[in-house]
Structure 1
């Protein structure tokens, strides 16, 4: 079972592409496989989601394209390398400086590992529907708490 692409925010896919290209230049299929490997096969971007993001990154000057043996090879520009270093630094500082945030992320990660561990143990559609309802309710509760917090700070 793969994660649904619509649930992966566009910004996350952008960073995943920059991350893949930070190691070396690649063609689109290699980028997809690199991302899939990073997620242990749970998520792989489709060509329909990858190419629009690649085009956007090219327009922004973060990646460029070279033709090699009739294949488009994507590579980071200097601006792309700088953007990746900045994003990587922000993630490191966020996770290292905020203990409460790290605890939340750890909880989410634990839930994802729990779900991943049961992915092939059951094909019970009702179970998946129940779990999905619980997660949707949880997301709604989290959004409500964050909105409430935002409003109280504005007052």
Structure 2
């Protein structure tokens, strides 16, 4: 996500909060933040490691090498910092709750836009297919050779199928996917399929 989820200085303090629970290496810290945001925000290495280096420089955390990994752990000075800033740590948790809801709303809006675009494109394709059928009967072709409109229609279905699957996975990760959303998706696709069949049915 491009929108900031931490105010200035909050990421540094949140890393201290995570390390207060247990020592962690950098990837574990990134994963812990991703899970806290239900997958809607994933910090980059460029976001995490410079802050860890500054925390170590300030004596708030220590680092040690375990195998091929660098593990970070909070120091007594770091715990004292958390105690002194307890009000701020509580505000960070409230800020994260607000950010998770906002990011989940953004994902739902993206899913609705994808559905609307799919409906619009399929409607346009249905009109093209209907015009092609009215203008002339298709020339004989090999059984495995698809017509231009058919190929384009298949590409549309594949493209929006991928987008819908990505939107569903994102909504599920955000915890905003429920039976009602799936039912709405099913009903929308059923309507599109019926419309396509009605528009392209040969007259008897």
Q: How many residues align?
A: 112
CA distance in 1 between counterparts of 2:58 and 2:75 reads 10
Of residues 51, 54, 58, the one that matches 2:49 is: 51
Of residues 51, 60, 64, the one that matches 2:58 is: 60
Correspondence list, 1:19-58, <5 A: 19-58=17-56
CA distance in 1 between counterparts of 2:2 and 2:88 reads 26
Where structure 2 has 5 or more consecutive residues not aligned to the other structure, the ranges are 118-204
Q: Secondary structure at the match of 1:83?
A: helix
Q: Is the 8 A contact 2:14 2:89 kept in 1?
A: no
Greater CA drift, 19-28 or 110-119: 110-119
CA distance in 1 between counterparts of 2:99 and 2:73 reads 31
CA distance in 2 between counterparts of 1:88 and 1:116 reads 32
TM-score (norm 1): 0.59
Return the structure number with greater relative CO, CA threshold 8 A, min gap 6.
2
**Gap change, CA 1:38 and 1:59, over 3 Å in 2:** same
* Structure of greater Rg: 2
Of residues 77, 80, 83, the one that matches 1:79 is: 77
Where structure 1 has 5 or more consecutive residues not aligned to the other structure, the ranges are 96-101, 126-155
Q: What is aligned with 1:118?
A: 109
CA distance in 1 between counterparts of 2:69 and 2:37 reads 26
TM-score (norm 2): 0.46
**Gap change, CA 1:59 and 1:67, over 3 Å in 2:** same
Whether 2:13 is the aligned partner of 1:15: answer: yes
Runs of 4+ in structure 1 off by over 2 angstroms are 3-10, 85-92, 108-111, 113-125
**Gap change, CA 1:63 and 1:114, over 3 Å in 2:** same
Q: Is the 8 A contact 1:16 1:35 kept in 2?
A: no
